[in-house]
Amino acid sequence: MDVKKLAEEIKSSFQEELKNFENGNLNFEDLKNKFLGRKGLVADAFSQMRNFTDKALAGQILNSLKNELTEKVNSLTENTSSAKTKKLDLSLPGRKPNAGTLHVVTETQRQIEDIFFAMGFEMATGPQVETDFFNFESLNFPPDHPAREMHDTFFVEGDVLLRTHTSNVQIHAMKSQEPPVRVIAPGKCYRNDTPDATHSPVFQQIEALYVDKNVTFTELKGTLDAFVKALFGKATKTRFRPSFFPFTEPSAEVDVTCVVCKGKGCNVCKQTGWIEILGAGMVDPNVLEAVGYDSEIYSGYAFGLGIERVAMLKYGIPDLRLFFQNDIRFLKQF
């Protein structure tokens, strides 16, 4: 093989690629590697040394080719602007790292979790895409209960739906273990609601469930009282109003002292001094039987609260939609 011809070929190929580099179609590292890299064209030519008849001459030619290309490549590093920016300018002020923070709803969720973890509750989870059985039937919703209807439930297909509350996790938790069960279950829920200041088709709840022998309504009251005091402050009181849920009996709607006016009466609490924060009750015996627990031996309580609602009260946020608009100016405040 003719070493001169090979050297010429490599040179003209370099000129071609140099154009590509100058047009921005090839970056500096790739140009350099293609010719001068360990597996580059120059190294490749050297490795063919034994095929050349005059080895001394071939050595000279390839060495001068290598020097020539090295010089050209080095001159590029000095002249090109992309290479210049790589030099560290110590006189520039540093860039402040833009650290993110937790979303205020996540922050609130963790505060609530920590209070219950301290009381001995464990974390439980369940699917957001659920079957009618776990979301309704096992929770004692009669077949014609309005909550199952198209207008407040997102049906996926057949009896598969997006869960409308976190109460489905009650059933999963009880089916997977024997009492005592003491769990909380945070997560997203879905309802076919039109967004407004207090409604969103996606929102988050925290469910709590405690089942054991001799669990009483008094314990439910004591636990919730301790919880709201830890969350909103020692002066916070609870008020239980009779209510109805298919899966608890008796059931209650629980109010707390208005966090804004401290009970005096204001716009937020509509002059009542109270604000509703959760639904609660004693687990209905039908639910215990549905998961195979003996309702003559075991009893329990459950409650569920909306996390966004708690965050709105705690931080005085007037509109639920603010949580989802992802306006950094809003989110940065927390």
- How many CA atoms lie within 13 Å of 21's alpha carbon, on the beta-carbon side? 23
Q: How far is the CB of 285 from ligand PHE (least distance, A)?
A: 14
- Residue with Cβ nearer ligand PHE (104 or 184): 184
- Residue with Cβ nearer ligand PHE (106 or 243): 243
Residues making contact with ligand PHE (CB under 6 A): 165, 167, 207, 245, 248, 279-281, 302-304
- Residue with Cβ nearer ligand PHE (236 or 248): 248
Element (DSSP H or E) covering residue 43: helix 41-47
Q: How far is the CB of 119 from ligand PHE (least distance, A)?
A: 17
Q: How far is the CB of 317 from ligand PHE (least distance, A)?
A: 21
CA atoms of 321 and 323, how far apart (whole Å): 5
Q: How far is the CB of 296 from ligand PHE (least distance, A)?
A: 21
- Residue with Cβ nearer ligand PHE (138 or 248): 248
Q: How far is the CB of 160 from ligand PHE (least distance, A)?
A: 19
Q: How far is the CB of 117 from ligand PHE (least distance, A)?
A: 19
- Residue with Cβ nearer ligand PHE (21 or 245): 245
- Residue with Cβ nearer ligand PHE (61 or 184): 184
Using Cβ positions, the residue closest to ligand PHE within the complex turns out to be 304
